[in-house]
Amino acid sequence: MHIGPYAQLPLAYNALFAAVHERGLRPQAPVREAYLVGPAEAPQEELMTRLVIPVQESTA
C-alpha cells in the first residue's frame, strides 16, 4: 500500500520488489495498481494506491 503522491510510486515499487526478492520470490506479470483514494477525494499526501505484484516461489 502506498500513501502519498503518484510521483513517489517508483520508490514504493523499489521497496516492494526488494521485499519480494529478499523473501526468495520471483515477481510475475502483470503488475497492477488499484487507486483507492484519488486526487478528487484527497490532497496529494493522502492519495492511497494498492500495488499488486504476483509472485512465484523460486525454483533455485
The pairing of strands 55-57 and 32-37 is unpaired
Average pLDDT over residues 19-24: 96
The pLDDT assigned to 60 comes to: 62
Average pLDDT over residues 5-23: 97
* Per-residue pLDDT tens digits for 22-60: 999 999 999 999 999 999 999 999 999 999 999 999 776
Q: How many whole angstroms separate alpha carbon 2 and alpha carbon 52?
A: 11
- State pTM to two decimals: 0.87
Specify the residue for cell string 484527497.
Answer: 42
